Structure 1
Amino acid sequence: MSYPFDLIELARLIKEWGLALGFQQVGICDTDLAAHESVLQAWLDNQYHGDMEWMARHGSLRARPHELLPGTLRVISVRMNYLPANAAFARTLKNPRLGYVSRYALGRDYHKVLRHRLQQLGNKIREWCKEVQFRPFVDSAPLMERPLAAKAGIGWVGKHSLILNREAGSWFFLGELLINLPLPVDQPQQDGCGRCVACMTACPTGAIVAPYTVDARRCISYLTIELQGEIPEDLRPLIGNRIYGCDDCQLICPWNRFSALTDEKDFSPRAALHSPELLELYKWDETTFLRATEGSPIRRIGHWRWLRNIAVALGNAPYEESIVSCLQESLGNDALLNKHITWAIERQLQQREAATVNVQPARQRRLINAIEKGLARDA
């Protein structure tokens, strides 16, 4: 099929428009992910997706963008940096009385930000080609965005399963624009992980069970965000003070040592979520929680899981009579939440009886030492 414009020139313009819209990189690839279908199926067969039944429900569709939007010929992949200045990694992780929120969730919900910009990019393309069909995605459909980003030259898939870029590390969001134009494609980057296994050894729960393979059932991000039920008791002490997500595998990665900071105001940390006191967060009623997390990705876990996560973190904090009193007063009619509260109370009382201070797990101590020695990023 012939077009009344130069596809090579259009591809160049798309990247130029993308940068102007606030993306730090734009890449283009075809839709062939056949090589990843067997890997995805093996991951699902091992039950590594945990309770995320939607991962299995869509199955191989995730590796077939052209079936998701019939007529799709190319995927435009974009990345946008999100790491804020003064991220205060060490200060928060080092103090078990503070709550750690994954740095991607400190500001506005990235889904809305990226999707709006991708829609604008699609509209710019439509000015060149009125008949073009496109559809933006931001972690919102059964789509293997990381393999697509790798094919589009955004970076390579690291051993922690995230996309890594030599100039940007991994502190960025991904988004995709499916389109029905046969644009020229970009070349993938070479894998830069080599023999490094820092992310695997730093993971608090050992969730990276093999290079490039994460067992979500052990991942703190899954446990505090996706898991809707009870957090396994043996994993609770390893969660430490992480109440929403976890960044350890990124923090320890050598490629992230000099990663770029974001200049997007939407990703600036909210004061209430930036190194907050756990006990103060636990006292939020549902109205306060909803107001404080309006427009934030945190809101989607709901008040119940918020309390569950903080109760676990309080159980991991050093003994304080005020913590025990607050936890006891919060016992109510929810049997599942009571399990986590009771566990936290018992942990606190055990520390008091043993007259010991709750010692941080060895992996967390090593991570904090690496940050303080400048071996890992501390913005």
Structure 2
Amino acid sequence: MVNVAQLQQEIREFAASIGIDKIGFTTAAPFVKLKDRLKQQQELNYQSGFEEPDVEKRTKPFLLLEGAESIISIAVAYPSKMADSPRGKKGERRGMFCRASWGEDYHTVLRDKLAQLELFILTKVPDARLRSMVDTGELVDRAVAERAGIGWSAKNCSIITPEFGSYVYLGEMITNLPFAPDRAMEDQCLDCTLCLDACPTGALIQPGQLNAQRCIAFLTQTKQPVPEEFRQKIGNRLYGCDTCQTVCPKNKGMNHTHQPAFTPEPERVKPLLLSLLSLSNRQFKEQYGHMSGSWRGKNPIQRNALIALAHFKDESAIPELGRLVREDARPMIRGTAVWALGRIGTEPAEEILQKVSQIEQDEAVIAEINKAMKQLSSNQKKEV
């Protein structure tokens, strides 16, 4: 007969020994209130589309593991500051990967820790049934973490821990073992609304509700052209967005660097924008494939680099933008490069647009050319 209380303590100790920063336990009972929120998100079209579409699976752990009794939630901290951060300058502008893409892909790191935890449990209880997941699984990591006492669910939809702020990665394991549940934390955001006020696109509709379709973190990952209303707001972000975390008072002074896997490589997480535009698929995978921000491939990153060059109005990029609009096979890249040329707005940029307007065949790109030319013409009239 297994002494569950003793095993639970042993799991806590083992988790700490393998670099799991926080661990909590909760029941495998259905997430009833969450189910209603998820259905509302679907009805409002606030979902990103990356989630598991079946709300039942997202809220009923017993559908994912027969005999589910409890869930173990884990959190691993990551840094918020970078030593020797490279600085961009005129002619050498840089983009930025969000903190959640610093170092090694957190999916890999947390899955490895959960695999070690599974093996430890199975050495104690060989017939235990276990199922682990990180981010891409059916369960909502934040909901599990909240109920397991890892932290509280903040207004920006992050889990905030007292020890590490919101700079933590989350994962969980469903088990058929009846562990005693930990207590959930009380909300400590109180009347603060800094994250809602600072969101560049107004994606935080209200406390705890995010319209992912407007969230820059989502927009930088899409494989389609970024809607024009959001392009200038993206700035020089290549992947993700940290604004709602960096303004949070609970994150002030939080910078935990004890996880070597997440130590950022400065030239990877703040790369020169122009250097990104000529990377082949193989080169991109070699340089960025170990980072979580590479999961959608090079196309979204290169599109975002074009938006960033437009943000800086980088005239040194005009020759490369001209090459892309003439030679690149991808309409999204050609269209975004056209928009960037229109934003930079110099005479050489206009000349390129005039020439390419005679040869472009794609309707969406032609529409971008027409808008860019119209904007340039309007700007010239204002100057006169």
TM-score, length basis structure 1:
0.86
8 Å Cα contact 1:318/1:351 also seen in 2 = no
Partners of 1:269 and 1:312 lie apart in 2 by: 23
1:351/1:98 CA distance change after superposition, 3 Å:
farther
Aligned 1:34-73 pairs, distance under 5 A: 34-50=32-48, 52=49, 55=51, 57-73=53-69
Superposed CA offset, 1:151-196 (max 9, x none): 0000011001010012210101001011100110100011000010
Specify the code of the residue in structure 2 equivalent to 1:131.
D
Match of 2:242 among 235, 239, 247: 247
Report the Cα distance in structure 2 between the residues aligned to 1:195 and 1:21, rounded to whole angstroms.
37
Shift in Å, 1:308: 0.9
Deviations 1:324-347 (A, max 9, x none): 111111122322221111111100
Name the counterpart of 1:103. 99
1:97, 1:318 within 8 Å by CA — same for their partners in 2? no
Q: Which amino acid aligns with 2:345?
A: L
Q: Compute the displacement of 1:77 (Å).
A: 0.2
1:111-190 to 2 correspondence within 5 Å? 111-190=107-186
What do the CA deviations read for 1:62-113 (whole angstroms, capped 9, x no partner)?
A: 01111112211111000001116526789679x9922011112121111111
Shift of 1:307: 1.3
The counterpart of 1:328, out of the listed 322, 331, 339, is: 322
1:76 counterpart residue number? 72
In 1, Cα distance between equivalents of 2:47 and 2:87: 32
Which of 223, 230, 233 is the matching residue for 2:225? 230
Alpha-carbon distance in 2 for matches of 1:178, 1:351: 61
**Contact 1:102–1:246 (Cα < 8 Å) also in 2:** yes
Q: 1:10 corresponds to which residue?
A: 7
Cα distance in structure 2, aligned partners of 1:192 and 1:131: 40
Name the aligned partner's letter for residue 330 of structure 2. D
Amino acid at match of 2:292: P
Q: Any conservation in 2 of the 1:96–1:316 contact (CA below 8 Å)?
A: no
* Native 8 Å contact 1:319 1:351 kept in 2: no
Tell me how far apart the structure 1 counterparts of residues 273 and 333 of structure 2 sit (CA, whole Å).
17
1:145 and 1:92 map into 2 onto residues whose CA distance is 36
Match of 1:365 in 2: none
**Alpha-carbon separation, structure 1, partners of 2:248 and 2:142:** 18
Give aligned-pair identity as a percent: 31
Larger RCO (CA within 8 A; separation ≥ 6): 1
Q: Please state how far the C-alpha of 1:260 moved relative to its aligned partner.
A: 4.3
The residue type equivalent to 1:206 in the other structure is: G
Contact 1:48 1:217 in 2 (8 A): yes
Aligned counterparts of 2:309 and 2:114: Cα–Cα separation in 1: 40
- The 1:56/1:263 distance shift into structure 2, 3 A limit, reads closer
Q: Which of 289, 300, 303 does residue 305 from structure 1 map onto?
A: 300
The gaps in structure 2 that reach 5 residues or longer are 350-384
Spell out structure 1 runs of 4+ moving beyond 4 A. Answer: 87-93, 350-353
Distance 1:348 1:220 in 2: 22
Equivalent pairs, count: 346
Q: State the SS of the aligned residue for 2:229.
A: coil
Q: Is the 2:318–2:348 Cα contact (8 Å) retained in structure 1? A: no
CA distance in 2, matches of 1:334, 1:201: 36
Deviation at 1:262, TM superposition (A): 2.9
CA contact (8 A) 2:194 2:247 kept: yes
Structure 2 vs 1, CA of residues 314 and 290 (structure 1 numbering), >3 Å: closer, same or farther? Answer: same
Q: 1:281 to 1:154 in 2, by over 3 A?
A: same
| Structure 1 runs not aligned, ≥5 long | 354-379
Identify which range, 101-110 or 269-278, moves more after superposition.
Answer: 269-278
SS across alignment from 1:238: helix
Match of 1:262 among 257, 263, 267: 257
SS of residue matched to 1:27? strand
**Equivalent residue letter for 1:239:** I
The equivalent of 2:373 in structure 1 is none
Query: What is the Cα deviation at residue 282 of structure 1?
Result: 2.3
| Cα distance per residue 1:309-359 (max 9 Å; x no partner) | 111111111342x21111111122322221111111100116999xxxxxx
Q: Report the Cα offset of residue 275 of structure 1.
A: 2.3
Deviation, structure 1 residue 35: 1.7
| Structure 1 CA distance for aligned equivalents of residues 88 and 78 of structure 2 | 18
Q: Aligned residue for 1:372?
A: none
Look at both structures and tell me which one has the larger radius of gyration over its CA atoms. 2
Q: Using a 3 Å threshold, how does the CA distance of structure 1 residues 89 and 153 change in structure 2: closer, same or farther? A: farther
Partner Cα distance (1:260, 1:235) in 2: 30
Q: Residue 87 and residue 256 in structure 1: after superposition, are their counterparts in 2 closer, same or farther (change >3 A)?
A: farther
Residue 279 of structure 2 corresponds to 284
